[in-house]
Structure 1
Amino acid sequence: MFVDKVKVYVKGGDGGNGMVAFRREKYVPYGGPAGGDGGAGGDVIFEVDEGLRTLMDFRFQRHFKAKRGENGRSKSQHGASAEDLVVKVPPGTVVKDAETGEWIADLTTDGQRAVIAKGGRGGRGNIRFATPANPAPEIAENGDPGQERWVELELKLLADVGLVGYPSVGKSTLLSVVSAAKPKIGAYHFTTLVPNLGMVQVGERSFVMADLPGLIEGAHEGVGLGHQFLRHVERTKVIVRVIDMAGSEGRDPYEDYLKINEEIRQYRADLINRPQIVAANKMDLPEAEEHLERFREKIGDVPVYPISAATGQGVKELLFAVSRLLDQVEQEESARPVSEAPVERKVYRSTEEEPAFTIRRENEVYVVEGEWVEKLVQRTNFQYHDSVLRFARTIRKMGIEDALRARGAKEGDTIRIGEMEFELSDGADY
């Protein structure tokens, strides 16, 4: 089974917790802090494996979780960071965030890697918090949770040449003649339900040719095999439009050519400018010569090669023409300055006008929301008194207490930050 689109869940490993510990040595009655840091959680990394050709494996495993980092230890020993979880994907895989549609990675070359879910940072141990005012702090941080998300994987075949055309025009037959590929061939529509790849040898030159599922009207809107077909056209360097020049089933070859171009243009306008060749197939059938003459008059300067995939007529000439055009395209790509490719860069600037937190009322509870303050709650280990005092001082310094009172909060009111709830206290000395 060929699978070219899946949705999977990925989660980076959580960071290990920092530790509160103290030196215990003979003749050292007041040993200093000795709690180590927690290790970082593992990343989830997608890596290209050129031996894969489908996303089939993801049908059976849809959840990928990296391991968490080790907790810190006594004697100032830091916990080990977890190993990254490496997931193999086929070349041509595009990774997007399933919720936002954000483009995460485009994986095309063997060995290429991309971090899809980053592991959490390890929490700091109490050796990090010693100060002259508090030389033996009972403060340690919890590790940050790893990033988690649902992602969509789309496979866009990496073929040099794509065979495009309506169903039953002879694309599969042509591929079987020019390569060792053995696609399913039949005299009915949609014999080809999945793309087939074949390696074509022309003299000393070889290239990959893809027989793509038959195109129908409305494909750009997802009708029929729609987007599954058009997705694979995007990466081909040269498009060969295979036309039934015999006009089987009462079709008009020129109208078919126009409709194919329109479907491709509607899907992605720039694809229409991709280098193309027309393979006028089924020239061994009656009326093909007459149709070809009218077709050439209407089509203009587009190169047309009459062939018969069934008998082999004209196939060699077609392949040499495709090879020459492919060489030309690759030479133009290699000569193109790197600077011509636009690089999108995002610049993030902090603005003083935007608050670091927001406060809203939920019945009798005041809810404080903000990325930084919620992360502070996650990192704070509330079982240690010094950690609680540090948390309270930070909250006050951020201005959250004053903001709560400005919203009408009084002593004893419930305050929720993340998943933790607290009581507001007046006159506390931190």
Structure 2
Amino acid sequence: MKFLDLAKVQIRSGAGGAGCASFRREKFIEFGGPDGGDGGRGGDVWVECVPALNTLIDFRYQQHFFAQNGRPGMGRQRTGKDGEDIVLKVPAGTEILEEDQETVVADLTEVGQRILLAKGGNGGWGNARFKTSTNQAPRRANPGQEGVERTLWLRLKLIADAGLAGLPNAGKSTFLAAVSNARPKIADYPFTTLHPNLGVVGVDGREFVMADIPGLIEGASEGRGLGDQFLGHVERCAVLLHLVDGTSEDVAGDFAIIDRELELYSAKVHAKPRIVGLNKIDALTPEEIETRKAALEDASGQRVHTLSGVAGTGVQYVLRALWSEIEASRRPAQQEEEAPWQP
């Protein structure tokens, strides 16, 4: 299945059916009267968060979603049939945006959430509704209410507890494959990863979800390389693992490039807790490890973990550091749920 995280759709709710202007005319019945029925109600357009989906690829092949119109009313006070609703099924983590791609209409983060995007039009009244003591033969009937038409953007932001960031070939995919059941493509050339990958990571009997984001390069915020289009997938993460290639001649410069791109993309993402790891230490001598670790600590201003995704060296320590940040982020929500009710 191909990965698609941004889609444009056009939706329209159903129009209400017109009311009917009709009069009762039957043999052997002396007095008739108005008996026009109401029009049916137009269908609604809903969006629903469903399980077993992790991409918006379905919306590449269908962009128009129109609910059914209500049927008009008929004589003998028969009400027209209501139009059928239409439901857009999206994966968890989907944002619904207005056409300007900035105004958020809804944010679906849990399976089962259901949001009304466009309400169907009401059906028009038939002439039986307008009968009064002074107007016993009304000849008017209302038309149905028009439906609502909108152009919306669907943007998927994967729901993961931890996100991987780093330059191409920093070893992110190798790390994810080593610690989870994910099997991303791994090769010795840049931009091997073309779309985000998710993996379930286990550490000390606990599990969390990790997202591997395609590598950033200098100028990604300006559209270079793959750009920063995939950084939206780490906005929901509790912590970032910033991997730096230990075999690089300038580990401090590599860190600064990614740090700058995160800051240009979003201050919120840049401010997230971050674990810094010096990767590929299996290819370095002990002296090189110490020198480059010290340089990276000076550049980042925090403790640097040394690891090797291929050899498995230091991986468990990094996972425990990630879990401690994830657990800290979950604690306020758990305390709020467990707090006793107070009037």
Determine if the TM-score, normalized by the shorter chain, exceeds 0.5: yes
Q: What residue is the counterpart of 1:135 in the other structure? A: 136
More deviation in 302-311 or 224-233? 224-233
Task: Verify the 8 A CA contact 2:121 2:146 in the aligned structure 1.
Answer: yes
- Per the alignment, residue 324 of structure 1 pairs with 324
Deviation per CA, 1:138-165: give whole Å up to 9, x if none. Answer: 1111212211122111111111110001
- In structure 2, the CA distance between the partners of 1:333 and 1:266, relative to structure 1 (3 Å rule), is farther
Rate the CA distance shift 1:253–1:333 in 2: closer, same or farther, 3 A. farther
Alignment check: 8 A CA contact 1:44 1:118 kept: yes
Q: Which residue of 1 aligns with 2:38?
A: 37
Aligned pairs for 1:111-130 (under 5 A) are: 111-130=112-131
Query: What's the CA shift for 1:335?
Result: 4.1
TM-score, with normalisation over the residues of structure 1?
Answer: 0.74
CA distance in 2, matches of 1:8, 1:146: 16
Please identify the structure whose Cα radius of gyration is greater: 1
Q: Any idea what SS the aligned residue of 2:237 has?
A: coil
Q: Call closer, same or farther: CA 1:134–1:83 in 2, change over 3 Å.
A: same
Q: Which segment is superposed worse, 314-323 or 162-171?
A: 314-323
User: In 2 relative to 1, CA 299–267 (structure 1 residues): closer, same or farther, beyond 3 Å?
Assistant: closer
Distance in 2, Cα, partners of 1:335 & 1:134: 65
In 1, Cα distance between equivalents of 2:49 and 2:110:
7
- Asked if 1:299 corresponds to 2:300, the answer is yes
SS at match of 2:283: coil
* Alpha-carbon distance in structure 2 between the residues aligned to 1:101 and 1:29: 65
- The one-letter code sitting in structure 2 at the alignment partner of 1:261 is D
Pair 1:200-2:201 in alignment: yes
Check if 1:234 corresponds to 2:235: yes
The alignment status of 1:277 with 2:278, answered yes or no, reads no
Instruction: Give, in angstroms, the shift of residue 226 of structure 1.
Output: 2.0
Partners in 2 of 1:142 and 1:99 — Cα distance?
Answer: 33
CA distance in 1, matches of 2:333, 2:167: 30
Q: Is the 8 A contact 1:246 1:291 kept in 2?
A: no
Mapped to 2, the partners of 1:292 and 1:246 lie a distance apart of 12
Task: Give the distance between the partners of 2:259 and 2:49, measured in 1 at CA.
Answer: 32
RMSD: 1.8
Shift of 1:28: 4.1
Indicate the residue corresponding to 2:254 in structure 1: 256
Matched residues in 2 for 1:161 and 1:182: separation? 17
Post-superposition offset of 1:108? 1.3
Task: Give 5+ residue unaligned stretches, structure 1.
Answer: 338-430
Question: Is residue 76 of structure 1 aligned with residue 77 of structure 2?
Answer: yes
**Structure 1 segment 45-64 matched on structure 2, within 5 A:** 45-64=46-65
When residues 221 and 117 of structure 1 are mapped into structure 2, their CA distance, relative to the original with a 3 A threshold, is farther
More displaced, 156-165 or 99-108? Answer: 99-108
Give the letter for the 2:280 counterpart: K
Structure 1 position 336, deviation (Å): 6.3
Q: Which residue does the alignment assign to 1:89?
A: 90
> Distance in 1 between the 2:210 and 2:299 partners?
28
1:82-102 C-alpha deviation (Å, 9 max, x unpaired): 221112111111112225753
Amino acid of the structure 1 residue aligned with 2:332 = E
> Which residue type is aligned with residue 157 of structure 2?
K
Letter in 2 for 1:67: Q
Q: How far does residue 31 in structure 1 lie from its aligned partner after superposition?
A: 2.1
Compared CA separation, residues 223 and 131, structure 1 to 2 (3 A): farther
- Cα deviation for residue 298 of structure 1 reads 4.2
Farther-moved stretch of structure 1 (48-57 vs 168-177): 48-57
CA–CA distance in structure 2, aligned partners of residues 333 and 222 of structure 1: 37
Q: Given that residues 162 and 241 in structure 2 are in contact (C-alpha distance below 8 angstroms), is that contact kept between their aligned partners in structure 1?
A: yes
Q: How does 1:352-391 map to 2 (within 5 A)?
A: none
Could you tell me how far apart the structure 2 residues matched to 1:225 and 1:116 are? Answer: 32
Per-residue CA deviations over 1:255-276 (Å, capped at 9, x if unaligned) read 2222222211211112222111
- Range that drifts further, 53-62 or 164-173: 53-62
Equivalent residues of 1:95, 1:103 under 8 A apart: yes
2: CA distance, partners of 1:315 / 1:11: 51
Q: Does structure 1 retain, via aligned residues, the 8 Å contact 2:293–2:304? A: no
Provide, for residues 343-372 of structure 1, a one-character-per-residue CA deviation record: whole Å limited to 9, x for no partner: xxxxxxxxxxxxxxxxxxxxxxxxxxxxxx
- Secondary structure of the corresponding residue to residue 242 of structure 1: strand
Residues 6 and 152 in structure 1, CA contact (< 8 A), matched pair in contact too: yes
Q: Distance in 1 between matches of 2:316 and 2:115?
A: 41
Letter in 1 for 2:251: P
1:111 and 1:293 map into 2 onto residues whose CA distance is 48
Q: Does structure 2 conserve the Cα–Cα contact (< 8 Å) formed by 1:309 and 1:315? A: yes
TM-score of the superposed pair, with normalisation by structure 2: 0.92
CA distance in 1, matches of 2:203, 2:32: 78
Specify the SS of the correspondent of 1:227.
coil
| Contact persistence 1:246–1:288 (CA under 8 A) | no
Q: How far off is 1:214 after superposition? A: 0.2
Residue 288 of structure 1: aligned partner: 289
Contact 2:211 2:234 in 1 (8 A): no
| Identity of matched residues, % | 46
Deviation at 1:235, TM superposition (A): 1.4
CA contact (8 A) 1:35 1:76 kept: yes
Q: Which has the higher contact order (CA 8 A, sep 6+)?
A: 2
